[in-house]
A and B are shown apart, each in its own frame.
Chain A
Amino acid sequence: MRQESGMPRMMDRREFLRIVAGAMALGVAGDWQARALPVHAAAKKNFGGQTIRVAASTEYYAVAFRIFSKQVEQEYGVKVIPDVIPATDAYTRVMLEFTTRASSYDIVMFSPQWLADYAPHLEPLKPIAEAAGLDLSLGDVLPAFRDMYSTWAGTLYAMPFDGDMHILYYNKAAFEKTEYQKRFRDKYGYPLVPPQTWEQYRDMAEFFSGWDWFGDGQKHYGASDGYRPGRTGFWWFMGRFANYGGVYFDEEMRPLINSANGLKALQNMVDIFSFAPPGSTTFGYTEVENALVKGDVALSTNWTSVARVAEDPSRSKVVGKIGYAMLPGTMIAGKLHRVGSLASGWSLAIPKYSKNKEAALHALELYTRPDVSLKISLNPATGVDYTRRSSVDSSEARTAWPNAPGFLEVIKASVDVGFPAPLIPGAEEYMKVCGDAMASAVAKTKGVKQALDDAAHEWNRITDRLGRDNQKRLWKAQYDAMKQRGLVYKPLL
């Protein structure tokens, strides 16, 4: 472990535990006091310049850590050094350290799908927060993020930092043109309004593809989505799969990605790919965002942080022209089935192997504190999305740009019925296999059914490799939690 020269001697594990135990003994009786105290007012401990390292998974997350590093130092005497690990390598790099029972980082940022794999190496947060007298304001965290993306087997291991989800973006200016509305109705027989279903999304993508509906003398395209293989492409598949009523496995742990729900979801992606800008096979978050904010496409599905970029005149050609909606759904048995898609997300946790746990906990508390969390989320340079109810309801968020209230309503509606990624061990591998299958079908190296059948076969291999009974038990726990939120499998014929 790292010890900065000139820094005060760091506590060893035993010393830390002794302090925690002492603090707990003092705190048990006064537990109500700690709870009743205003946010982060309970303890103003000073760590005398102790340095902690944070594994930030992209540069824009590191920006968020840097912006408030002074405040952390002033309040708690903790120096924060964010190290950028590319998001694509974050799982491997951190996990590799964990397997050796070590960590170079005092705070790790990770995608909640890795929580099942990371949990044995993380410090449960509640006991040490209570011992330190820190209030993490958990009641304010949006329940989907708190319950599904921060908690594993009933234990809170992390605090949500970036509340990710996918929503629908559409070019309002194009959708509201009378001429386009008439042409669309004449061709498809229904009005040009934000799509309610993925079939409508396909029609609208087709309608806007290959002509200059933007009015700048160039050819424009229908829709931009992410088709990059692996984990990246998985998020776009997941949004469709969930809205076609699919879930990942049945009760016996048999994959359902190659069910009728999966086939229809993937077929929809393949169909819409024809109306996407050139180069889309390698598109991920940034490229899909660019296509929307440069006015290349009329429709797009992407993370919520895109909204701020679309309203930033220095980066966007579509300021004030973008509308928002929940992801499209599907008509199942005569009813519209429409859910949100909790794509990715990023949380903060403290590795068991950190030698600066208490300092790390204080920094973590500050970065996820309601007022700080709101400021980070409002800053277009950070790419961080809301995780807290107070942020979504704040006047600052509602007045961030003229159409912001509509955007916030979409977030609330989406998160309440947010469909999660797989949260069982090996989730990263399941997702990669599925994302690769999607990309193979889009690239036409495999048919839709073949791609998903192969992926289902791979999923079975992963399950067997990780132990079928254990995986089945853990999937049941996830599915039970999903059912409680109304997310149940809806078979399609």
Chain B
Amino acid sequence: MNPNGKVTREQSSISSSRASRRMKPWLLLAPTLLVMLVTTVFPLAYSLMVSFTRYELAREMGWEFTGLINYRDAVGDQRFLASAIQTVQIIVPALVMSFVLGFSIALLLNRPFRWRGLFVSILAVPIMVAPTAGAMAFALMLTPKYGAVNDLLSILVGQRVLIDWLGSPGMAKLSVAAVQVWRWAPFHMLILLAGLQAIPDQLYEAARVDGATRVQLFGHITLPLLRWPALVGLLICFIDLVKIFDTVYVLTGGGPGTSTETLTFYTYHIGLRFFHVGYGAALSFYVLGTVLLLSVLLVQVFRWRKEGVV
């Protein structure tokens, strides 16, 4: 301002330029924010609102605000609770086995040899196969009488093998978990292989000079440096596994009985098959909450480990 209290042209120009600078990032972000608002924030907010209503999409009954009743009903829904337990029973072994298998393969491949690139590409094929197509192939392979798995076992043991892979609750869960291991082990392999190759050779050489054994090299260099790639891989895999649907849908249909019915499979039936969308939305928020909670917890555990708290 000049002494008369009026804004000079120069001051006005500076102010305008500052405002422009402040706006620029928002303008650049605007398209992304808009897309996110439309595709993520709005549906999420809308489904949250629906979860507080009694809303039967297939019937002309209209909406009815019911507050937390859907959330209360879900807690008392035995089938929903059972599906939560079954989800854990399927995904925990799948997560552990796929990680162990992927890590083992990554260690085997972490040395130069001929055709290594080809091997890695072939082993990564399951990631590229559509989950439904993979599940359908397994459904055929696991057929007791005509399936490839029993045929192979029959050749190996020299007598007719007729294992009903999907016939009992335990075997069916195992089979669903096995399909997930087939799908996710290559993913862990790729991430961990990249992590292994990023570890500088000098670290190993220095440790060897100090007389470190192979076990010590693995325990004190390889494992700590793979912590973050492993965490990222486990997190992505875990979040996807909690949502497990396609394999169950194609392979077992939730059976035998309801023994392989998972959270998302049950939620799908409630919300999208029978159109109880209010209740279905409430169930899906429980699933979302569980995923968020466990993901945060997992990250926190790794942070505590890094800081030496645990």
A and B interact physically:
yes
Tell yes or no: A429 within 8 A of B by CB.
yes
Given A230-B254, A281-B167: 17 more A-B contacts, CB < 8 Å: A91-B273, A120-B60, A229-B253, A229-B255, A229-B256, A229-B258, A278-B167, A279-B143, A279-B144, A279-B164, A281-B172, A282-B253, A282-B255, A428-B274, A436-B258, A439-B256, A466-B59
The count of residues in chain A whose C-beta lies closer than 8 Å to any C-beta of chain B is 39
A window 407-457: CB within 8 A of B: 425-426, 428-429, 432, 436, 439-446, 451, 454
Q: How far is the CB of B71 from chain A (nearest CB, A)?
A: 16
Given that A95-B58, A432-B269 are contacting pairs, would A278 and B144 also be in contact in the complex, using a CB cutoff of 8 Å? yes
- A429 and B274 contacting across the interface, CB-CB below 8 Å: yes
A117 touches B58 (CB 8 A): yes
Check B276–A465 contact: CB distance below 8 A. Answer: yes
List B residues 125-175 near A (Cβ within 8 Å).
Answer: 143-145, 162-164, 166-169, 172
| Residue B259 is within 8 A (CB to CB) of chain A in the complex | yes
In the complex the two chains form, is A278's CB within 8 Å of B257's CB? Answer: no
Q: B252 to chain A: which residues have CB within 8 Å? A: 282
Q: Which of B60, B167, B259, B276 contacts A445 (CB 8 A)?
A: B259
Q: Report the minimal beta-carbon distance from B22 to chain A, rounded to whole angstroms.
A: 43
Q: Kindly state whether residue B272 has any CB partner on chain A within 8 Å.
A: yes
Q: List residues of chain B with CB within 8 A of the CB of A432.
A: 269, 273-274
Cα distance, A229 to B249, chains bound together (Å)? 11
C-alpha spacing A229/B257, complex, angstroms? 6
Number of interface residues of B (CB under 8 A): 33
- Produce 1/0 per residue, B258-291, CB < 8 A to A: 1100000000010011111000000000000000
Taken together as a complex, chains A and B put the C-alpha atoms of A229 and B256 apart, in Å, by 7
Q: Is the CB of A440 within 8 A of B258?
A: yes
Q: In the assembly, what is the distance between CA of A323 and CA of B58, in Å?
A: 43
In the assembled complex, 22 residue pairs joining A and B whose CB atoms fall closer than 8 Å, in A order, are A228-B255, A229-B257, A230-B253, A230-B254, A277-B144, A277-B145, A278-B162, A278-B163, A282-B253, A428-B274, A429-B274, A439-B255, A439-B257, A440-B257, A440-B258, A440-B259, A441-B257, A443-B167, A443-B259, A445-B169, A445-B258, A451-B257
Compute how far the CA of A428 lies from the CA of B269 in the bound complex, rounded to whole angstroms: 11
A281 touches B57 (CB 8 A): no
In the assembled complex, the CB of A93 is this many whole angstroms from the nearest CB of chain B, namely 10
What per-residue 1/0 map shows which CB atoms of A286-297 lie under 8 Å from chain B? 000000000010
**With A454-B78, A465-B56, A466-B56 as contacts: A229 and B164 at CB distance below 8 Å:** no
Chain A residues whose CB sits within 8 angstroms of the CB of B168 once the complex forms: 281, 443-444
Expressed in whole angstroms, the Cα–Cα distance for A188 and B167 within the complex equals 30
Instruction: Rank and list the top 5 A-B pairs by shortest CB-CB distance, nearest first.
Output: A440-B257, A443-B256, A278-B144, A229-B255, A279-B144
Instruction: Please measure, in the bound complex, the distance between the C-alpha atom of A9 and the C-alpha atom of B16, giving whole angstroms.
Output: 57
Chain B residues with Cβ below 8 Å from A458 are: 79
What's the Cα separation between A115 and B58 when bound, in Å? 13
Q: Does A399 contact B (CB under 8 A)?
A: no
Interface positions, chain B 235-261, Cβ under 8 Å from A, are 252-259
